[in-house]
Structure formats: structure tokens, C-alpha cells
Amino acid sequence: MPIAQISAGSQRSVALDNKGTAWGWGAFKTAYPNRQETLPAEICSTDKSKIGHHRYAQPYAQMLNPGTPFDLIADGSVHILGACGSGALLACRPVIAPDHGAAHQKLQAIPQGIRQLATMHTVSLALLNNGSIWSWGFNHLGQLGRPAHPAHNTEAQIKNLPAIDSLACGSAHALALDQSGNVWSWGANQAGQLGHGTLKSSDTPRKLALPDPVVQVAAGDTHSMALDANGQLWAWGANNHGQTGSADAAFFAEPVKIQLDFPVRQIDGGQFYTAALADQGEVFAWGWNGLGQIGLPQPHSSPKAVQISGLPPVTRLAAGAGHVLVSDDATIFAWGDNRSAACGRPAQDTVILTPNPIHLA
């Protein structure tokens, strides 16, 4: 069925079809009333000394919202956000009952008219049609974009920003692209991911110094990217694995030009890597390859873009912490970290190097 949106998180994958049905696979628990809550095949049991011991791993796409169509989705570290056509915003837990979908609660304070949802590890953001941003969550590094006391804060608008067109989030920092092509950033900054020339975190959005209007922003865990109106890619922040696309430094506290051999249509980042969609539908990736994110059989990193083989021309891209989702509008493909079955294969296949097609029931 036609795919409207894809979202990749740290351990899960979520997709929205054109009928408003949200599907999820990866780190989901299945709840069966009056029965054993967990299916034995759903738990990935690994060596106790390894990361991921006894994590939930559901390789088959499960319906999250029966009877409640969504307009937008975003996967977060704790919950999945879903915006309904009625204006309601739901925070869905990764616990799915076959008849009722994901357990959820309604977030009351966000106004209607949500254009985009975005998440960090501890903070969620909603961009409204009027260009305003609302934030909520745990603010220990300024992720809310506003002074907040106590640090854990409920929903409120970020002030002192112009009308915003789109958002991008890393693990603890955010980028906002305003309607004039300017980029604003706030949150954690230990690797220079805010792009202001320092390593100081900020709870106040600040505008970046970029020479040309920007048309797209993207963020990895601790690095950031912007595509300008001339097709030039800029990157800043952590570069310990070449995730910015440069081999010149371990990090960049200000934006630097990145030279690519292909025109970029869409770009996204994960943990220490970057993935890009080219104009003709090809997919490239660079940076860390410890879990097969950039498609190389060896686990070494590369600052040079590597084309992902085994894909048809695709139209959508979403980078999770360690896995990548793409779609040609009819089929979703996934590769990379599969320790929680986020690539749609049993978790015993911990690394997926060749894009795996995902079938929505």
C-alpha cells in the first residue's frame, strides 16, 4: 500500500500509509490480555555480556492505531507520537495489543494544526501550521529551547523565533529552518553540533551564520547538516567517524562545505553516520559502519559517500540511530542495526547489509 511517511528511531521503525494507518516493528512488546504477555520468539536473548540482552524484538509490522487514523508520526526513544486529523496528539507506548493497537495517552496542551513532529532522546517537539514550535520533556542540556524550571517540563511554546518551516533533531539538540531560509539551533553542544563556534550548550535558539538561504536541515546524534538553495551541503558537529563527510578534523564547531559527487534531494543522520538521497533515487551513506549502516561488509568507517546497492529508485529516507529506512512509496527497505529487529528480520540477524523489504500486513 502507498507509504506516506517513515520514521526510524533508536530501536524501532514506524511507517504511515496513505490511509492513516501507522505500523511499527522492532522494539515493541505484544500484550495479550489474560495470556502470557510476551511471545517467546519476540525476545532477543543474547550473551549477557553484550548490549541488547533480553531486548524486545518484533520483526513483523504491527498496527499501532486501529480506528484512529494518523496524519503524522515520529518515533521517539520512549514513545511514538501520532497526530490525528481531529487535532489530537497521542503519545503511544511500544506495547501493542492486537485488537486495540498501541497503549497511548493524549497530550492536552498542544494546539491543533500540527505540521511536523520531531523527537530527541528526552524531548519532543511539535511544529504548528502557524510556524510556532512547542516543546516538552527533560531539559538538562537546554533541549526544550527555553528556560525551564523544573528541568522536566510540560508542553509550552518556544518564544523569540520567527515562523519556522521545518525541524530536525539529534540526540539532544535541535535545528529549526525558518521561512526565510535561516537556521536556528539549541540544546547540547559538546561536539559543536549547534554550529556557533563554541562547545557551550544553549537553552535559547540562536541563528547560524550561513552565506546562502537554506532549504533543508538534518541532524545526526551529535552532528548537523544544511542544504542551501544552491545545492551546497554544509555540516558541523562531531566527525570522529567521518559522519560530516570530511576527513579534516574530529569535530567542527562551525559549518563547513562538504563536497559530494551527486545532487542531494534529502539528507538525514544517525549515530555517527549520514545517509543521503540523490536526485535520481540512489541512496548514499558515510561515517560509522559498525552495524552496516553505510552498507560496507567491513565494519570500518568512511568519510566518503558509499552508494547502497540492491535498491530501486526511492523517494523517502529516514535514518535511525543505527539503521536506515527508505521507501519508493510502495515498499519500505531497511538495513543496518537489527538487534531489535528494526530492519524487519529476526533479531538473530544482528546486522543487515543488504536492504531488506518490509511487508505491511
pLDDT of residue 1: 73
Instruction: Read off the pLDDT of residues 156-203 as tens digits, 9 standing for 90 and up.
Output: 999 989 999 999 999 999 999 999 999 999 999 999 999 999 999 999
* Model pTM score: 0.93
Check: CB of residue 218 under 8 Å from CB of residue 257. Answer: no
Whether pLDDT at 260 is above 60? yes
* CA 15/CA 331 separation, integer angstroms: 11
Instruction: Please provide the average confidence, as pLDDT, over all residues in the chain.
Output: 92
Residues composing the chain: 361
Residue 112 C-alpha cell reads as 491543533
For the cut 70, the answer to whether the pLDDT of residue 342 exceeds it is yes
Share of the chain above pLDDT 70, in %: 93
Q: How far apart are CA 329 and CA 312, in angstroms?
A: 11
Which is more confidently placed, 325 or 49? 325
Classify 252 in phi/psi space as left (phi over 0), alpha (psi -120 to 50) or beta. beta
Q: Which three cell numbers stand for residue 242?
A: 567521518
Question: Would you state the pLDDT for residue 32?
Answer: 57
Instruction: Say yes or no to pLDDT of 34 above 60.
Output: no
In our burial notation (b when 16+ CB lie closer than 10 A, e otherwise), range 28-58 reads bbbbeeeeeeeeeebebebeeeeebeebbbb
Q: Where is average pLDDT lowest: 39-43, 120-124, 324-328?
A: 39-43
Mind giving me the DSSP string for 54-70?
TEE-EEEEEES-TT--E
Q: What angle do CA 122, 123, 126 make, to 5 degrees?
A: 155
For residue 49, is pLDDT > 80?
A: no
Question: What integer is the mean pLDDT of 24-30?
Answer: 93
Cβ count near 235 (within 10 Å):
25
User: How far is the CA of 202 from the CAs of 144, 172, 195, in angstroms?
Assistant: 10, 11, 11
CB 207 within 8 A of CB 226: no
Reference 62, options 356, 355, 249, 342; nearest CA is 342
- Residue 108 burial (C-beta neighbours within 10 Å; 0-12, 13-18, 19+): exposed
Check residue 36 and give its pLDDT: 45
The percent of residues in the chain predicted with pLDDT above 90, rounded, is 83
Helix and strand element counts for the chain (H, E): 0, 31
Nearest to 313 by CA among 331, 287, 294: 331
3-state SS assignment for residue 41: helix
> What pLDDT shows up at residue 54?
53
**Distance between the two ends of the chain, CA-based, in angstroms?**
9
- Give tens-digit pLDDT for 296-331: 988 889 999 999 999 999 999 999 999 999 999 999
The amino acid that residue 163 corresponds to is A
Given this model, what pLDDT does residue 38 score?
45
